[in-house]
């Protein structure tokens, strides 16, 4: 430690230290600050300045100690509390940091910086609503502070308040018109707010302003993918990866493109690269799981698929299956609640695992969507069936339906139940038999489209790839000895009213899946897009021909017309994206080859 001149005043020496600090002579400034702290321990400004110097050098623990000394010396100094919070944040101690920021705000309510820092602390702790309030206060106190506006816009984006985020980013951009990072955030928000053209323009401008930036290329790639421009999307993702090889999200997005293009090995490699860069990248884990399942790599695939629950506290640890069941392990007397997740088709597909639980001695309660309750009561094994909005009976364990294969370690032979494992109600089936008796020839049920799900961008894109239009089946309708019966529900069912060919349509009378099953039981064949109807027919053991998109669902495997999940199913795969003509020609030929009904 340096020796201070005995006659020099503390004020003069402090001014000298501040001057050294400002001039970048940090070593000399630090020595002088430390000597001054020893001589004048009651001066809070000295440890405050030394803490700032240490914080700037990344010496956060030492900075915390200095700021604590400043706070202890002068508890009413808001700046010291704020700086202490910043240093604590640098150490990842967000909850402690938030306390310091709140103390600074209590001392100086108009301190915009403390409000902003508190917002950052809330955001990092997964508290977006609280973060929003802090950022809004900071922005009101300093309307022209660009970084605060950016944080506010990002929080609104996280809260899915996209139009408001667009407005805030616009304000930030007005203050800093050539900021590529603001244009990137603006473009991402415009996309989700429905302004695709505006998003394209913002992202392209960001790229023009900063050729080295990966993020706008990544976001533009996602937008191009959503528009169906896979070539443009892949080009953007690869350009982003060249600029930021360590960006896990880009590897994940490239993996998605590879999967859409049926380059599954390459997709798996990108997902693994993403996970290597970011071990808790749960979207990449889930996508890897689906890719592995597509290839029949069930053991690893089911384990990766479990990552879909990474951010969802769906049950308490004491009620969860903590591990896969050992071979032959019993569940005698255990009450297991097997509950629905994802879509109707997924429940129809995986409800069969209730039979395995029963074989292990469990009492099984299936909690499913109301529209499935009556049909699933036909599941053998004496399971209890309740609707998802019914009160839950007492139980010992909970299991998401699509986690059952992982629990049972389904490997090379993943199929636990023979088909059919569901059945229609006899009286209802007889009623439809009378209704359909007048239809001549072979009775073929038809589903041409899935649920568009406009509220879910990812699912909406998948639906666009899997769905057809009713008019595309006109050649089938022209075949002699064939009667087409609509099984279509939802918004696409409106196409039946203007059908270009004869179509029996009584779906307005179908209220749930039990009604659907009773109708399907009286058909000779079902032809369907890849929707829940494929699972209804498959679970009933009814012949069903499924039109599968080029990047088909993982459960149908990589190739071939058959699937072990449903022996009565035949798959008609697109040879290339968007091409339904070729699989429809094969269906037409196969219908013509059938013996007369």
| Residue 443 domain flag | yes
Could you give the CA distance from residue 191 to residue 146 in angstroms, rounded to a whole number?
22
Structure tokens at 107: 């001392």
Could you give the CA distance from residue 58 to residue 39 in angstroms, rounded to a whole number?
26
Could you give the CA distance from residue 594 to residue 50 in angstroms, rounded to a whole number?
88
- Quote the pLDDT of residue 3: 76
Number of domains into which the chain is organized: 2
Answer yes or no: do 589 and 502 share one domain.
yes
User: Distances from the Cα of 132 to the Cαs of 115, 159, 181, 302, in angstroms?
Assistant: 10, 9, 20, 38
| Residues with Cβ within 8 Å of residue 274, at least 6 apart in sequence | 248, 249, 251, 252, 255, 281, 284
Domain that holds residue 535: 426-593
| Residue 453 domain flag | yes
Cβ neighbourhood burial of 185 (10 Å; 0-12, 13-18, 19+): buried
- Quote the pLDDT of residue 44: 92
Last residue of one domain, picked from the residues 375, 407, 439 = 407
DSSP, res 364: E
Q: Model pTM?
A: 0.84
Helix 426-436 and helix 513-520, axial crossing angle in degrees, nearest 10: 50
Q: Which of 43, 39, 32 is nearest to 2 (CA)?
A: 32
Answer yes or no: do 392 and 483 share one domain.
no
Answer yes or no: do 399 and 525 share one domain.
no
Could you give the CA distance from residue 378 to residue 505 in angstroms, rounded to a whole number?
26
For residue 395, the domain's CATH number is 3.40.50.2000
Answer yes or no: do 498 and 547 share one domain.
yes
Could you give the CA distance from residue 98 to residue 269 in angstroms, rounded to a whole number?
41
Answer yes or no: do 473 and 381 share one domain.
no
| Residue 70 domain flag | no
Could you give the CA distance from residue 140 to residue 253 in angstroms, rounded to a whole number?
37
H or E element, residue 276: helix 264-277
| Residue 348 domain flag | yes
Answer yes or no: do 436 and 377 share one domain.
no
3 state SS of 442: strand
Could you give the CA distance from residue 132 to residue 242 in angstroms, rounded to a whole number?
35
Answer yes or no: do 364 and 442 share one domain.
no
Answer yes or no: do 363 and 448 share one domain.
no
DSSP, res 565: T
Phi (first) and psi of residue 321, to 5 degrees:
-70, 115
| Residue 130 domain flag | no
Phi (first) and psi of residue 41, to 5 degrees:
-65, -15
| Residue 281 domain flag | no
H or E element, residue 544: strand 544-548
Answer yes or no: do 400 and 430 share one domain.
no
| Residue 486 domain flag | yes
Could you give the CA distance from residue 71 to residue 55 in angstroms, rounded to a whole number?
16
Q: Tens-of-pLDDT digits for all 597 residues of the chain? A: 677 777 778 898 899 989 999 999 999 988 989 988 988 999 999 999 999 999 999 999 999 999 999 999 999 999 999 999 999 999 999 999 999 999 999 999 999 999 999 999 999 999 999 999 999 999 999 999 999 999 999 999 999 999 999 999 999 999 999 999 999 999 999 999 999 999 999 999 999 999 999 999 999 999 999 888 999 999 999 999 999 999 999 999 999 999 999 999 999 999 999 999 999 999 999 999 999 999 999 989 999 998 988 765 444 444 556 566 666 688 898 999 999 988 999 999 999 999 989 988 999 999 999 999 999 999 998 899 999 999 999 988 888 899 899 888 755 555 777 899 999 999 999 999 999 999 999 999 999 999 988 887 778 888 899 999 999 999 999 999 999 999 999 999 999 999 999 999 999 999 999 999 999 999 999 999 999 999 999 999 999 999 999 999 999 999 999 999 999 999 999 999 999 999 999 999 999 999 887
Answer yes or no: do 508 and 445 share one domain.
yes
Answer yes or no: do 387 and 520 share one domain.
no
Q: Which of 306, 279, 281 is nearest to 292 (CA)?
A: 306
User: Distances from the Cα of 224 to the Cαs of 465, 541, 551, in angstroms?
Assistant: 15, 41, 17
Could you give the CA distance from residue 194 to residue 394 in angstroms, rounded to a whole number?
45
Answer yes or no: do 537 and 464 share one domain.
yes
Could you give the CA distance from residue 320 to residue 332 in angstroms, rounded to a whole number?
17
Helix 248-260 and helix 264-277, axial crossing angle in degrees, nearest 10: 170
Could you give the CA distance from residue 83 to residue 88 in angstroms, rounded to a whole number?
9
- Quote the pLDDT of residue 314: 41
Could you give the CA distance from residue 531 to residue 92 in angstroms, rounded to a whole number?
46
Could you give the CA distance from residue 151 to residue 131 in angstroms, rounded to a whole number?
9
3 state SS of 562: coil
| Residue 564 domain flag | yes
């Amino acid at each position: 430690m340096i020796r201070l001149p005995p006659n020099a005043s503390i004020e003069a020496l402090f001014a000298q230290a501040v001057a050294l600090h400002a001039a970048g002579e940090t070593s000399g400034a630090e020595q002088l600050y430390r000597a001054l702290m020893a001589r004048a321990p009651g001066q809070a400004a000295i440890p405050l300045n030394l803490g700032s110097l240490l914080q700037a050098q990344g010496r956060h623990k030492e900075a915390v100690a200095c700021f604590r000394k400043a706070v202890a010396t002068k508890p009413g100094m808001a700046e010291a509390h704020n700086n202490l919070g910043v240093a604590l944040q640098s150490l990842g101690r967000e909850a402690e940091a938030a306390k310091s920021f709140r103390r600074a705000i209590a001392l100086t309510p108009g301190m915009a910086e403390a409000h902003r820092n508190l917002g950052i602390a809330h955001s990092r702790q997964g508290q977006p609503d609280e973060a929003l309030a802090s950022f809004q206060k900071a922005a009101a106190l300093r309307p022209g502070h660009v970084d605060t506006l950016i944080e506010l816009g990002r929080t609104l984006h996280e809260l899915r308040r996209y139009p408001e985020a667009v407005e805030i980013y616009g304000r930030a951009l007005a203050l800093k018109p050539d900021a590529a990072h603001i244009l990137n955030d603006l473009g991402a928000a415009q996309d989700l707010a429905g302004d695709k053209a505006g998003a394209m323009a913002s992202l392209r401008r960001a790229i023009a302003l900063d050729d080295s930036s990966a993020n706008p290329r990544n976001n533009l790639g996602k937008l191009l993918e959503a528009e169906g421009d896979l070539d443009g999307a892949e080009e953007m993702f690869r350009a982003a990866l060249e600029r930021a090889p360590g960006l896990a999200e880009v590897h994940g997005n490239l993996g998605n493109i590879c999967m859409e293009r049926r380059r599954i090995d390459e997709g798996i490699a990108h997902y693994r690269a993403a996970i290597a860069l970011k071990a808790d990248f749960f979207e990449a884990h889930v996508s890897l799981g689906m890719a592995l399942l597509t290839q029949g790599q069930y053991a690893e695939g089911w384990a990766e698929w479990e990552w879909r629950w990474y951010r969802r506290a769906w049950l308490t640890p004491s009620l969860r299956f903590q591990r896969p069941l050992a071979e032959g392990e019993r569940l005698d007397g255990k009450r297991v609640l097997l509950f629905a997740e994802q879509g109707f088709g997924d429940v129809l597909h995986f409800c069969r695992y209730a039979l395995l639980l029963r074989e292990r001695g469990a009492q099984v309660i299936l909690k499913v969507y109301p529209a499935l309750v009556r049909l699933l009561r036909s599941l053998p094994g004496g399971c209890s069936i309740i609707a998802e909005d019914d009160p839950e009976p007492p139980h010992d364990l909970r299991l998401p339906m699509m986690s059952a294969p992982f629990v049972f370690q389904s490997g090379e032979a993943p199929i636990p139940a023979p088909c059919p494992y569901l059945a229609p109600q006899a009286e209802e089936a007889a009623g439809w038999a009378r209704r359909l008796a007048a239809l001549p020839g072979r009775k073929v049920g038809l589903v041409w489209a899935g649920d568009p799900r406009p509220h879910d961008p990812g699912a909406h894109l998948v639906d666009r790839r899997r769905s057809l239009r009713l008019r595309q089946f006109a050649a089938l309708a022209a075949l002699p000895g064939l009667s087409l019966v609509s099984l279509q529900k939802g918004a696409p069912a409106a196409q039946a009213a203007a059908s270009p060919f004869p179509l029996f349509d009584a779906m307005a009378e179908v209220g749930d899946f039990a009604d659907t099953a009773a109708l399907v039981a009286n058909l000779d064949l079902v032809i369907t897009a890849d929707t829940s109807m494929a699972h209804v027919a498959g679970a009933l053991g009814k012949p069903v021909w499924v039109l599968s998109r080029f990047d088909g669902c993982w459960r149908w495997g990589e190739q071939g017309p058959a699937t072990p999940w449903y022996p009565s199913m035949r798959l008609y795969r697109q040879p290339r994206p968007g091409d339904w003509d070729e699989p429809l020609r094969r269906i037409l030929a196969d219908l013509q080859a059938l013996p007369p009904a």
